[in-house]
A and B are shown apart, each in its own frame.
Chain A
Amino acid sequence: MPKVVLEKVSKRFGRITALDKIDLMLDDGEYSCILGPTGSGKTTLLKIIAGLVEPDSGDVYIDGKRVTGTPAEKRNAVYMHQNYALFPHLTVSQNIIFGLTARGFEEETARRKVSEVLETVKLGEWANAYPRELSGGMQQRVALARCLATGARLLLLDEPLGALDARLRLEVRRELSRIAEELNLTVIHVTHDQSEALSLADRLILMRSGKIIQTGPPEEVYFKPNSVFSAYFVGESVFLEGVVRRVDGRIVTLELRNGTVIEALSNEGFKRGELAVAAVRCEDIGVGGGPLTARLKEVNFLGSFSKLVFELTGGLKITVNIPLPRFIKEEFRIGASFQLSIPREKTYLFKQPPMGLMGEIEAV
């Protein structure tokens, strides 16, 4: 039985359409990440599921029950705000008890729940500590424990890691994944961080301007982007604009602005003379032994991989990500000439977006 269903949900704030006829179906026990740029409508969507915002039209179902109009506390769902706040004058356990009694739990029941959820978030020894004695990551786990204690099976998390340092974010991310799995929770997690979404989600929901652009398992969205925007926002790609010069079965030949010719595979029915945009993942471009001559302009070391910027004739720039082991072994000297290849089986080809490539990307 699907746990969360949205049917044609729309919401406007004044002149702005925050959500535009959203349809969505999420399974029981699924960990979904809603990913998108600022202003794409992801928080509004989450708040509508939580019951904190009512849609203008459309319906929300949780566990097969229509909950549109049902108050938030009666939805068997709990919403964790981006700026979760613990009460500074209450201890960890008092913070959790307060959250429960405010929801109408008996104090006795609340007390019993506390030790249970503190074990889950591995803070059993900190029950009597005050928030100021805890690190940012631990406070975050207390806020999570407070949500878990309500017994709600649907956890709605709005940028839950946004307030944490980058390093800590990685650790709490792994914790979150463990807890969701252990308790078999259904989680909907809003983020603008694609690596967070990729590593946590069973299902990724990519949004933009109030619409869902693509949804599916992370691997599917990553390896089969359905649009220029999807290839741009999830993972890193190089985008190449050009004119279709030849179509031979699935093989489409594209001439780029600088005269370079590349090939891609597509079933989308491209026609000769048509404008198109090719996208290639920055890690899929071959360096050494390829038909394209390029000069290395920049080397940016990023630890586990390095970002190399090459320039083709006509000033066309191509960024290639090289994993650390190869970066250590080979010499990448700025100014040196390299041969690049763009493998056609890894090149995604899209129709030219109506607002042009930059319009499609910069509207972010």
Chain B
Amino acid sequence: MPSVKVENVTKKFGGFTALDKVNINVDDGEYVSIIGPSGCGKTTLLRIIAGIIGDYEGHVYVDGRLFDDKPLEERGIGYVFQNIALFPNMDVGGNVSYSPRAKGLDNSVVRTTTMEMLELMKLRERYHDFPRSLSGGMQQKTALARALASSARLLLLDEPLSLLDLKVRTELRYELRRIVKDLGLTAIHVTHDQEEAMAISDRIIVMRRAQIVEDGTPVDLYLHPKKIFTGYFLGESNIFEGSVAQADEGTALIDLGGLVITARNTGFQTGEKVIVMVRPELIEIGGNISGRVLKKTLEGLFSRLILDVKGMRIVVKQPYSTVAELGEGSSVSIRLPEEHVLVYKHPGRDLYSEISLY
């Protein structure tokens, strides 16, 4: 039963620190995603767990057993590489059936498992095709099928859906999660796609600059991020600098530079500098803050409005039917529900360096 523990792992490449005292715990049967901007160390972390990268400080445990010196092939891990790495001299069927065959499983079992995985990935007709004749997306699906057929209990997936067309990608992610859950596997999935991470994971680990920023369930990270960076990176947020104009028991008035809003007071003092975050889709239409629509675009089920409110830009997302009458130049009034206004201690540094991706 695979659980994974990474303890105080630091990895340097020359003068570059790729991982800086990283600790993670993944429970047996858990589906965990690691997200972060490119270069944050997420792939390095995955490769260290897999045993592809060695020579690091700290320890890796799988099921409580120390894995640091365990050879790659004895780890029992299914790994899907970002750059796929299929056996070029084997057809799709050969690639997918490689691992069960190597384990000496019964021919009929090998065949059933292989066909099952090919069926799931809609690759049956490609059984006899060689990797070079497949599109990037189909190669990626073959790699996934191969990892799933390997009977590994721990899957490490590095951007496993990145080469697929968007439509196929969004459909396959639910399939992938379902298979992992049905088979009772543990999965660690690296992606830069936040929506993919939210859709597929039990828990998300956010990384930046070689460190873990925070972890939590998709709902917790999205609605109540502990760090400003998480709120910025996961989905879209309005982020403002401000100061506490008046701190009372329970509520605080926050001055965003002319616009004063109400938030819940979680221990702030009058005069304190703060950062305020509000999700665009949690801002309501109708209220006592008035503004003007600068731009309106359709983004699927939402219309996205950029408003000018006292010289500030506020982004609002509403179901298109509720703002059908609004166009560019329209006047509009909004409300920022205080329970959805998140207030953070100002980090002292400038806001840009706080949320910068790199």
Contacts and interface: CB of A to CB of B under 8 A. Distances in A.
Interface of A: 37-39, 135-137, 165-168, 170, 192-195, 198-199, 218-219, 222, 232-233, 235-236, 281-283, 298, 300-305, 307, 321, 323-325, 328, 362, 364
Nearest to A181: B295
Contacts of A218: 297-298
Interface of B: 37-38, 122, 135, 137, 165-168, 174, 192-195, 198-199, 218-219, 222-223, 233-236, 279-282, 284, 297-302, 304, 317, 319, 357-358
Which applies to chain B's interface (DSSP): helix, strand, loop or mixed?
mixed
20 contacts: A37-B167, A137-B357, A167-B37, A194-B300, A198-B298, A218-B297, A222-B298, A232-B167, A235-B300, A283-B301, A283-B319, A303-B194, A303-B195, A303-B198, A303-B234, A304-B280, A304-B281, A323-B302, A325-B282, A362-B122
Contacts of A167: 37, 192, 194, 233, 357
Contact of B304 (A199, A283, A364): A199
B320 to A, nearest CB: 8
Given A300-B174, A302-B198, A304-B235, A168 B317 contact: no
A303 B299 CA distance: 14
B302 A304 contact: yes
Contacts of B282: 324-325
Interface centre among A137, A168, A302 (most CB of B within 10 A): A302
Given A165-B192, A281-B301, A323 B319 contact: yes
B300 A236 contact: yes
Nearest to A322: B301
A304 B317 contact: yes
A195 B301 contact: no
Contacts of B319: 283, 323
A302 B199 contact: yes
A165 B301 contact: no
B236 A170 contact: yes
B174 A199 contact: no
B298 A199 contact: yes
Nearest to B170: A236
A300 B280 CA distance: 20
Nearest to A137: B357
A165 B38 contact: yes
Given A301-B218, A303-B235, A364-B167, A195 B300 contact: yes
Given A235-B300, A303-B234, A304-B279, A166 B165 contact: no
B235 A199 contact: no
Given A198-B300, A300-B174, A303-B218, A192 B236 contact: no
Nearest to A221: B298
